């Protein structure tokens, strides 16, 4: 295997590749964009769906103690009073009196503007939730928020899930969905976006068993990233200091990845104790249904909650950065994405060696149809360049397998399968391709 770590992936390399090959585009780009909002292109949507699918497989399908949920983005605004987001989900901000730029005070090293050195205003509290109105008459609707976390949709549905799925503690509710935050400090590509997706699990346990489950989820979540190929030396757990803890957290660790700008949060794993259920029980008309009746002891109580909360967009970014490789092969630079095959946007590319031979093109087409028949993953066909260039295109987007059809294939029914990472080529029966691809991507 060649030395494949010649390049440290810089954010600009990843942003350029993302735009050029269709992973991520700036939202509303033709209008000049909108700050820190991103669109996922043809390859990005595949990668993102694959990340979400792998999370769901691990958190729901492989377990018997987790149910799924898809709750709405808009919620009764009382939810956010109870959760503490109306009063506490805020950053302390200062404005530069000269250049008018705005900064989070906790991100400043000195008490002056980091851009122009100007004097700063007194700090003000700025709530991060986006507000909108529900109602049909202008000015007479009620103010609602775009949810800043998916978690509250889980808490308010706790009793519904317990009753409908007859769950007993310990058990969890998993949800993937959009969240919105009016972030002040942006930049670093998709890392801190104003619209993003979260993958959240609220795992409900008996009070007293929370510490044990907290430790369990720290290990389990680290293992998920590692099992999908993140390099061990680029991943760590960092415990929050007491003055860093969110208003709801008894304790919290961040899973951090060594992004180009330094160690940064990929996922937060918090012990939320019974904060949320308790709060909703106090404020909601029917909040008492959130008390759990434990028939093993004949008592009711509010369960404690361990919450692994990951960002889909941050996971996608970390997987892209971690997979980015440059190497020199026969005096030419090769860029490739060493993505785990389960995450790769395209699993297999069928490439005819000679596109001016109709029989080869026909056989390639049949092979592609066979690979697409079960519609389980993306398989593509490309004949728009010479084979070397076609391989490089697929390497750059992380396609684990390329299949070439040549003149001999017409008589012996065999094709060449090339592995993205090793570049080793193997001659196999065309009829065994489906099984080879499925084994490679773990389906």
| Residues contacting residue 435 through CB under 8 Å, at least 6 positions apart | none
- Asked if 433 and 367 count as a contact pair (C-beta separation under 8 A), the reply is yes
User: In the complex with ligand GAP, which residue's Cβ is closer, 200 or 395?
Assistant: 200
Q: Can you list the pairs that 409-413 forms with residues at least 24 positions away whose Cβ atoms lie under 8 Å?
A: 409/360, 409/363, 410/359, 410/360, 410/363
Residue 67, token pair as written in the block = 């149910």
User: In the complex with ligand GAP, which residue's Cβ is closer, 50 or 179?
Assistant: 179
Q: Closest approach of Cβ 311 to ligand GAP, in Å?
A: 2
User: In the complex with ligand GAP, which residue's Cβ is closer, 4 or 264?
Assistant: 264
User: In the complex with ligand GAP, which residue's Cβ is closer, 183 or 327?
Assistant: 183
Which residues of this protein are in contact with ligand GAP, per CB under 6 A? 149, 151, 181, 183, 192-193, 196, 198, 200, 265-268, 307, 309-311, 313-314
| Nearest-angstrom CA–CA distance, 395 and 391 | 6
Q: Closest approach of Cβ 222 to ligand GAP, in Å?
A: 14
CA-closest candidate to residue 313, choices 183, 175, 154, 192:
192
User: In the complex with ligand GAP, which residue's Cβ is closer, 192 or 334?
Assistant: 192
Question: Which residue sits closest to ligand GAP, CB atoms considered?
Answer: 311
| Nearest-angstrom CA–CA distance, 290 and 303 | 9
Residue 31, token pair as written in the block = 């209008």
Q: Closest approach of Cβ 258 to ligand GAP, in Å?
A: 15
| Nearest-angstrom CA–CA distance, 224 and 56 | 11
| Nearest-angstrom CA–CA distance, 162 and 373 | 39
Residue 381, token pair as written in the block = 């066909």
| Nearest-angstrom CA–CA distance, 232 and 257 | 10
Q: Closest approach of Cβ 55 to ligand GAP, in Å?
A: 12
Q: Closest approach of Cβ 397 to ligand GAP, in Å?
A: 23
Q: Closest approach of Cβ 155 to ligand GAP, in Å?
A: 10
User: In the complex with ligand GAP, which residue's Cβ is closer, 343 or 368?
Assistant: 343
- Asked if 148 and 85 count as a contact pair (C-beta separation under 8 A), the reply is yes
Q: Closest approach of Cβ 339 to ligand GAP, in Å?
A: 19
User: In the complex with ligand GAP, which residue's Cβ is closer, 239 or 362?
Assistant: 239
């Amino acid at each position: 295997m060649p030395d494949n770590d010649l390049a440290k992936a810089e954010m600009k390399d990843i942003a350029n590749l993302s735009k050029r090959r269709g992973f991520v585009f700036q939202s509303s780009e033709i209008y000049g964009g909108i700050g820190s909002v991103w669109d996922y292109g043809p390859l990005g949507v595949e990668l993102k769906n694959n990340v979400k699918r792998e999370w769901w497989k691990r958190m729901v399908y492989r377990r018997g103690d987790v149910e799924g949920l898809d709750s709405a983005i808009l919620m009764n605004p009382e939810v956010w009073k109870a959760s503490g987001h109306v009063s506490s989900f805020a950053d302390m901000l200062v404005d530069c009196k000269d250049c008018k730029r705005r900064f989070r005070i906790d991100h400043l090293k000195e008490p002056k503007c980091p851009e122009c050195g100007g004097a700063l205003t007194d700090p003000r509290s700025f709530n991060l939730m986006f507000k909108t109105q529900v109602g049909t008459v202008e000015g007479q609707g009620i103010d609602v928020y775009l949810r800043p976390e998916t978690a509250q949709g889980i808490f308010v549905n706790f009793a519904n899930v317990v009753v409908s799925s007859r769950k007993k503690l310990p058990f969890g509710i998993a949800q993937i969905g959009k969240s919105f935050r009016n972030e002040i400090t942006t930049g670093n590509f998709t890392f801190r976006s104003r619209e993003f997706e979260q993958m959240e699990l609220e795992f409900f346990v008996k009070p007293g068993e929370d510490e044990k489950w907290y430790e369990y989820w720290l290990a389990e979540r680290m293992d998920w990233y590692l099992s999908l190929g993140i390099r061990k030396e680029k991943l760590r757990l960092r415990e929050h200091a007491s003055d860093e803890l969110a208003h709801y957290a008894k304790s919290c660790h961040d899973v951090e990845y060594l992004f180009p700008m330094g160690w940064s949060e990929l996922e937060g794993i918090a012990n939320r104790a019974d904060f949320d259920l308790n709060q909703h029980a106090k404020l909601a008309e029917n909040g008492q249904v959130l008390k759990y009746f434990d028939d093993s002891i004949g008592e009711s109580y509010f369960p404690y909650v361990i919450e692994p909360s990951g960002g889909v967009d941050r996971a996608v970014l970390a997987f892209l950065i971690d997979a980015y490789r440059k190497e020199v092969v026969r005096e030419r630079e090769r860029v490739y994405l060493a993505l785990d095959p389960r995450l790769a946007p395209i699993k297999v590319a069928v490439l005819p060696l000679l596109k001016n031979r109709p029989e080869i093109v026909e056989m390639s087409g049949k092979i592609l149809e066979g690979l697409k028949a079960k519609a389980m993953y993306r398989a593509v066909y490309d004949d728009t360049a010479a084979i070397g260039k076609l391989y490089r295109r697929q390497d750059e987007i992380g396609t684990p397998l390329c299949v070439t059809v040549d003149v001999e294939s017409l008589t012996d029914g065999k094709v060449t399968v090339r592995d993205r990472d090793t570049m080793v080529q193997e001659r196999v029966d065309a009829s065994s391709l489906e099984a080879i691809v499925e084994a490679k991507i773990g389906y």
